[in-house]
Structure 1
Amino acid sequence: MSKRKNPSDESNPNHEFCEFLSELAEYEKNVNRNIYKYSAYRKAASALSSHPIRITSGKEARALHGVGDKIAKKIDEFLQTGKLQKLENIHNDASSVAINLLTRVSGIGPAKARQLVDDGIATLDDLKKNVDKLNHHQTIGLKHFEDFERKIPRSEIESIEKILREEICKSDAEYKITICGSYRRGKSESGDIDTLITHPSFTSKSSKSDLLEGVVRTLEKCGLITERLSLGNTKFMVS
């Protein structure tokens, strides 16, 4: 699965800062295509997300590793006004809004989103009328847009992990299943479920396609997989 991943949740005391920094990061990645600024915003958001105490000034934020002067000034602006002028400008720019929306569809990157917007496609409804412009992955991403946007509670991931173990190990008890990503880091909810599946015979020199195809078919039969997004020799993406 592919979803947007935010470095913070609402229980974090610095959630508001993380939210606007994440939004600025997405803008830089999707609209400006500036990976340097994208990384800087994400790094700052991650630093604030990990800080257990509410930040009360840009100067205080500046003391955190990953927060520079420009971002500290944005934090001061937000604390003083409750908003950011840069974000206000972004929200008032129709092209930026459309690109940021379309890149939330799994499989649609910044270049594809820009192409779609140039073709007059600005909303999900527009996209549904132009599915012929989408590849398989993007079509599935649009079909399950609401599902992909939804955060997955930890309890639900635990239930899915149990099903994975039971179903996959029915055919071979030597399979080992490990849930990774934000779940492994102890988060209360996740944007997707990253799963590592290993087997003693699955080596760098072995034929991998049969083993992986077998795992996918098993999970399709039990109803855990409803759509294939991609399937390679060593990894697959499904919904």
Structure 2
Amino acid sequence: MPSSSKRSANEKSTSSPPHKRRRSSSSNSYTAANSDAEESPLNVFLLDAKMKPETIEELLSIIDNFRNVDENLSLKEKSGSSERELHLCPNMKDADVVITVVHMRKRLERHVDWSIARRKAIVTPQWLRDSADSGHLLPCGKYAALGDLYQETVQNCPDGDSSQTHPDSNSNSESHDQESESFVPPVPKNGTDIRHNHRYACMRYSPLTCPNQILVEKIAILRRSRELEGLDMQALSYERAISVLKAFPCPITSDNIHEISELPHIGNKIYSKIQEFVQHGDISECKSILCETRYQSLVDLTTVYGIGPATARKLYSSGLRTIKDLERHYEVSPKTSDDIADSLNPEHFRGTGPTTGLPQLSIKVGLALREEFSLHITRNEVEEIHDVVMNELANIRSGCVSTITGGYRRGKDKSNDIDIVISHKDLKSGGGQVKGLCAELVKRLYDKGLVTHVMHLSSFREHNALRTSHWDSLEKALTVFKLPDQQKKHQHVHRRLDLVFAAPEVYWTAVVGWTGSRMFERDLKLALSVLSNHGSEA
């Protein structure tokens, strides 16, 4: 910004327009006005880099006219209480709060030493605006200008508010709205940079209860529509937005919607959809999509296990529209599920048989067992199936360890399928102990009638450093499992069970990789890539 277009941000204004909360005394007399006050003025520094002239003028006006009175006091107490004023500080070293529009560490370090920045509360201009509107200093956490300084900004904030303490802290205050309080993100501990506005999903909180669930479901319709049509990049954009919105700590309203535009992965198009929802309670495009017969058919087709968006489009182009059409096309009905297993090749149990027919097998099994697969699995049943599998594995090989992953590990009350990652506790010989064990276990479960269908079975592959062909360091079996009925007291249904075997050295990596969610895994890879690049530069 040219110097002629603005004055120094930290020089006092002599012609600032009056603010609606005008003080009786001039800001230039702050020392005398506060000589008998219990609290000294709060020093504020404006870092004017990249800041527009009109923004600087606005902030200077607010600082000149700011009044901070405890709203919990009575009128009589307010009239006799001290008012904490804001003082425009010419030196950042002496400031309590730094206001900036800079959001990158490298750019901030052009203007201030990082060691100094870590001792300050560094916020966006919106903190000052909202504090002026409310008449008192607000908590700084959600206004943190730099993600790298989120924790320091919370700790150094002069608001004196306890609402941002960790949820483990005890509070007897009755003035807080308990519903809103439950969504306040906890202060990260031990320097962990976890916050709702982080760029990567693996560094954001993802609560099971989302305060904007209806909005998320509307955006999910837009994402699903793009995914079904093969518009993968657009679908990914919506999926990223959904991940960010799930982490937002409070309901989005007209009062705080301006904060959404500052979140990562929220572009103008998605922001306009959110605005429409806040204003009207719905998104017109979602209504149109839900009325489309093509969308309805593609959604129905992909409810069948083994049919993804690409296969669904091919089937649709072949004239198939409904589940009944699929049943006629594949000559499958719910009563034929037990007969489909006969098509298995015994070689599959050794991981060496042909796999060309397995996709068709998966679709047939998924179609025949569609109703059972649609039933959610409780945590108790997940644990029961896990115990049965591990008891059978113990009869083959002792010393194995396992972790239930997927939605179960993410804390969901109900799951769609079951994922179990298995390894061996012996770090030295464990790799050899688990090699080939996947097929051996699946065959044992199949012979006992516990595994009824095997859709995929793979063995370990050697690591290919050049990535000239597909490789995987895990043995996997995608199966259908059914617990035995106990004297007809309880009729169990078929469940999808994925078994993953990993060598001890990659066991926990496999656990993380099979826990999800999909966006978490994707961003975890991106974050690790960034870290490795920084490490190589260092």
Provide TM-score, normalisation by structure 1.
0.83
Partner of 1:39: 236
Match of 2:451, SS? coil
* Alpha-carbon distance in structure 2 between the residues aligned to 1:60 and 1:219: 53
Maintained 8 Å contact 2:227/2:309: yes
Partner of 1:51: 248
Partner of 1:230: 456
Maintained 8 Å contact 1:9/1:15: no
Of the three residues 152, 158, 161, the one matched with 2:377 is: 152
* Alpha-carbon distance in structure 1 between the residues aligned to 2:458 and 2:253: 48
* Alpha-carbon distance in structure 2 between the residues aligned to 1:131 and 1:141: 11
Shift of 1:174: 1.8
CA deviations 1:13-48 (Å, max 9, x no partner) are: 2211221222222211111x1111111111221222
* Alpha-carbon distance in structure 2 between the residues aligned to 1:193 and 1:60: 38
Maintained 8 Å contact 2:362/2:455: yes
Shift of 1:169: 1.6
Maintained 8 Å contact 1:59/1:72: no
Provide TM-score, normalisation by structure 2.
0.39
Maintained 8 Å contact 2:423/2:434: no
CA deviations 1:114-153 (Å, max 9, x no partner) are: 1211222111111111116981111111122233333323
* Alpha-carbon distance in structure 1 between the residues aligned to 2:224 and 2:381: 28
The residue correspondences of 1:119-158 to structure 2 (distance < 5 A) are 119-131=318-330, 135-158=360-383
Matched, 1:192 2:389: no
Shift of 1:229: 1.4
- Which stretch of the first structure deviates more once superposed, 229-238 or 169-178? 169-178
* Alpha-carbon distance in structure 1 between the residues aligned to 2:303 and 2:274: 26
The residue correspondences of 1:76-87 to structure 2 (distance < 5 A) are 76-87=275-286
Maintained 8 Å contact 1:28/1:34: yes
Partner of 1:18: 216
Partner of 1:174: 399
Query: 1:119–1:223: structure 2 CA closer, same or farther, 3 Å change rule?
Result: same
Letter matched to residue 216 of structure 2: C
Match of 1:135, SS? helix
* Alpha-carbon distance in structure 2 between the residues aligned to 1:151 and 1:72: 34
Of the three residues 247, 252, 264, the one matched with 1:65 is: 264
CA deviations 1:212-236 (Å, max 9, x no partner) are: 1111123334554222111111111
Query: 1:147–1:103: structure 2 CA closer, same or farther, 3 Å change rule?
Result: same
* Alpha-carbon distance in structure 2 between the residues aligned to 1:138 and 1:105: 7
Structure 2 gap ranges (5+)? 1-205, 333-358, 460-474, 481-538
Letter matched to residue 36 of structure 1: M
Partner of 1:217: 443
% identical equivalent positions: 32
- Which stretch of the first structure deviates more once superposed, 177-186 or 228-237? 177-186
- Which stretch of the first structure deviates more once superposed, 138-147 or 186-195? 186-195
Q: Per residue, is there more helix in 1 or in 2?
A: 1
Maintained 8 Å contact 1:228/1:237: yes
* Alpha-carbon distance in structure 2 between the residues aligned to 1:70 and 1:107: 33
Structure 1 gap ranges (5+)? 1-7
* Alpha-carbon distance in structure 1 between the residues aligned to 2:434 and 2:421: 18
* Alpha-carbon distance in structure 2 between the residues aligned to 1:139 and 1:116: 14
Partner of 2:302: 103
Letter matched to residue 220 of structure 1: Y
Letter matched to residue 56 of structure 1: T
Letter matched to residue 231 of structure 1: L
Maintained 8 Å contact 1:101/1:123: yes
* Alpha-carbon distance in structure 1 between the residues aligned to 2:374 and 2:266: 28
* Alpha-carbon distance in structure 2 between the residues aligned to 1:206 and 1:65: 45
What number of residue pairs does the alignment pair up? 229
Maintained 8 Å contact 2:219/2:242: yes
* Alpha-carbon distance in structure 2 between the residues aligned to 1:61 and 1:18: 13
Match of 1:12, SS? coil
Letter matched to residue 367 of structure 2: L
* Alpha-carbon distance in structure 2 between the residues aligned to 1:237 and 1:144: 15
* Alpha-carbon distance in structure 2 between the residues aligned to 1:11 and 1:187: 10
Give 1 or 2 for the bigger CA radius of gyration. 2
Match of 1:226, SS? strand
- Which stretch of the first structure deviates more once superposed, 90-99 or 59-68? 59-68
Match of 1:107, SS? coil
Maintained 8 Å contact 2:400/2:422: yes
* Alpha-carbon distance in structure 1 between the residues aligned to 2:377 and 2:269: 34
* Alpha-carbon distance in structure 2 between the residues aligned to 1:219 and 1:166: 11
Query: 1:214–1:161: structure 2 CA closer, same or farther, 3 Å change rule?
Result: same
Match of 1:194, SS? strand
Match of 1:96, SS? helix
* Alpha-carbon distance in structure 1 between the residues aligned to 2:300 and 2:399: 43
Greater relative contact order (Cα < 8 A, sep 6+): 1
RMSD: 2.7
Matched, 1:30 2:228: yes
